[in-house]
Homo-oligomer: A and B are copies of this chain.
Amino acid sequence: MSRVSIYDTTLRDGSQGEGVNFSLQDKLLLTRRLDEIGVDYIEGGYPLSNPKDFEYFQAVRDLPLTHAKVCAFGMTRRKNAPAETDTCLKALLDAQTPVVTIVGKTWDFHVTDVLGTTLDENERMIADSVAYCKSQGREVFYDAEHFFDGYRANPEYALRTLKAAATAGAAVVVLCDTNGGTMPERVAEVVQTVKRELACEIGIHCHNDCELAVANSLSAVRAGAAQVQGTMNGIGERCGNVDLVSVIANLALKYGFDVLKPNSLTRLTETSRYVYEVANLNFRNGQPFVGVSAFAHKGGMHTHAVAKNPTTYEHVRPEAVGNERRILVSELSGRSTILTKTAKYELNHDKALMTKILSAVQDLENQGYEFEAAEASFDLLVRKVAKLHKPWEVDKKLKLYKPWFERITYRVNIEAREAGTPITEATVRLKVGDQIEHTASEGDGPVNALDGALRKALVRFFPSLTEMQLVDYKVRVVNPRAGTAARVRVVIESRDGTDVWGTVGVSENVIEASWLALVDSIEYKLFKDQEASG
C-alpha cells in the first residue's frame, strides 16, 4: 500500500470561506484533532497576514502533537529585492514551523499583468525564496498557483517555474487548480507530464468550482501525485476546496492507499462533525461518507434488502468511516460511538446501562443536541443515566449525578431606549442544600447577567467557581427554516487553570439554552473538582 500524504489547509485556505472565522482557540483545537487522526501536514495560517495567525504559530509549539507537521504559508519574495530581507519570508521563518509552503506564480499572464514583473524575475523569486527557506533548515513545499491555467497558456514557462522550485530544493511541488476549472482527464495528463520532468514529489490542490475537485484529486494521485491538499468538509472560498473527507475515504476504501494513522478512518465522521461545530457551521446532511443521510435508507423493500444484506444498497460499510446506517426517520448515534465515548468509565460490561445511555443520547439528538463539542455535557448525561440505573454497581469509577443546586426561578429583563445598549438585569432564585439564595445581577447581555446572578448565588457554597471562566459561546439554529422561532443550540466552552470543557443546551429560547449550558458547565466543574480531591 503506497502512502498518500494529506495536507490540510482548513485553517488557512478554508478560513477564506464565507462565514468561516476561526478564533485562536478554534485553530488550536482543530490542530489537535487533525493530528490525532494522522493528518500529515497542517497549514496553520499566513503569518504575515494577521496577528491571530502569528499568535497561533507561537501557541502551537506547546501542543503535544504526535504525528502532524505544522506548516506556515506565505508568498515568494517581493520582486527585485533579496530574499534575506523580505518581510513575508521573515514572517514565514519566524513562525518556526518544520515546513514552510511558498506560493508563487506559474501563469505568464499573472506574472506580467498582476505581479507586474518579468518572467525571468518571477523564476528567480521562486528559486530564491525556496532556497533561502531551505537554507534556514525548513522543509519547503512549493504551491504553483494557477498551474493548470498557466500550463495551458504557456507550458514551457509553467514548467520552468516548477523546475526553479525543485532545483532550489523544494521537497514537494504542488500543482494548484486555483480557479477550479480543470477537467479530471486533463489533470491526469498534466500530472504525468510534470512527473516525467521533475525529480521531487508532486502534490495536488483543487477547488470545487466544477464539482470535480474530488475527481481531480484522485485523478492526480492515480497519475502519480503523492500529496493531496484540501480542507475538512471542503470549506473554502467560492465553491470550496476539495473535501479531504471524501478524498481520504476514496483513497483508502476504493484504491487501497495508505492514509492517516492506522484505524483512523473510523474517526472520519466524528472529525468532520467536530470541524463543523468548531467552525459554527451546520452539517451537510447529504455529505458523502460522513453525512447524517449518507447511509439513510427509506422505502420498504429497499430497507428490507439492506437489513438482509447491506452490500445490496451500500457501496461501503458505514462503520468503515465511523458513520452509521439509518433506517426510517431518525438521527441516531450508534452504539459503537457511545461505547467509545464511555470506555473511560468502565461501564461496558453492563449492556443494559449502555442501552439506556444510547437511548438517552438518541432522544437528545432528536431534540437538536450534539455532543461532539460538548463532552462535559455528555459526561453529566452518563452520570445521570447511571444514577437512575444501578448506583451500587457503577459508583466505583464515577461520581453519580446529584444536582448541586436547584433552580426555583430565574428572570431576565432587557430594556432598550432610543439608541445604545439596553439595560439588562437577571434575577435568580436557587436552592442550595436547604438554603434559598435570591440574587440579582446586571450584565452586558442576558447571558452575562444570568451568569453573574448564578455565580453570585453559588460562589459562597463553591468557592472554586471563581477559578472558572467562560471562553467561548456559540449559538446555532438547529432547524434553520423556522427562522427566529427555530430551536437553538448553545455551546459554551469553559476553562479553569487546568482544563477546557464544552457544554451544550438546546431550547426554542436562546436564554434557556444558555442557562442549560451554563448549569452543565458549573456542575461539570464541581464534579471534576470533587473527583480530583478524591
Contact = CB atoms under 8 A, between A and B. Distances in A.
Contact of A483 (B17, B312, B470): B470
Contacts of A109: 309, 312
29 contacts: A18-B328, A19-B474, A113-B309, A181-B316, A209-B288, A209-B294, A211-B243, A212-B214, A214-B215, A237-B297, A238-B295, A239-B291, A407-B418, A407-B419, A409-B415, A409-B417, A410-B416, A444-B508, A445-B510, A445-B511, A446-B510, A446-B511, A447-B484, A448-B483, A448-B508, A470-B483, A472-B483, A473-B486, A484-B518
Given A18-B373, A210-B315, A424-B511, 12 more contacts: A19-B373, A107-B312, A109-B309, A114-B312, A209-B294, A210-B246, A238-B294, A409-B418, A413-B413, A444-B484, A445-B512, A470-B483
A215 B472 contact: no
A253 to B, nearest CB: 9
Interface in A454-510: 469-477, 480-481, 483-486, 488, 491, 493, 507-510
Given A19-B372, A470-B483, A114 B293 contact: no
Contacts of A219: 184
Interface stretch (A128-136, A196-204, A279-287, A432-440): A279-287
Contact of A473 (B19, B184, B250, B488): B488
A208 B414 CA distance: 46
Interface of A: 16-19, 21, 23, 25, 49-50, 107, 109-110, 113-114, 146, 149, 178-185, 208-212, 214-215, 218-219, 222, 234, 237-240, 243, 246, 249-250, 254-255, 280, 282, 285-289, 291, 293-299, 301, 305, 308-309, 312-316, 328, 331-332, 370, 372-373, 406-419, 421-422, 424, 443-448, 450-451, 469-477, 480-481, 483-486, 488, 491, 493, 507-512, 514-515, 518
B239 A414 contact: no
Contacts of A183: 218, 250, 254-255
Contact of A312 (B110, B410, B421, B471): B110
Per CB-CB distance, the 5 closest pairs between chain A and chain B, nearest first, are: A181-B315, A470-B483, A215-B215, A475-B475, A444-B508
Nearest to A254: B183
A446 B444 contact: no
Given A50-B331, A293-B238, A313 B179 contact: yes
> Which among A179, A297, A514, A515 has the highest number of chain B CB atoms within 10 Å?
A179
Given A315-B181, A509-B424, A470 B484 contact: yes
Contact of A210 (B16, B114, B250): B250
A370 B21 contact: yes
A469 B481 CA distance: 9
A471 B475 contact: no
A301 to B, nearest CB: 8
Nearest to A284: B284
Contacts of A49: 332
A136 B469 CA distance: 57
A315 B180 contact: yes
Contacts of A293: 18, 237-239
Given A238-B294, A415-B411, A313 B18 contact: no
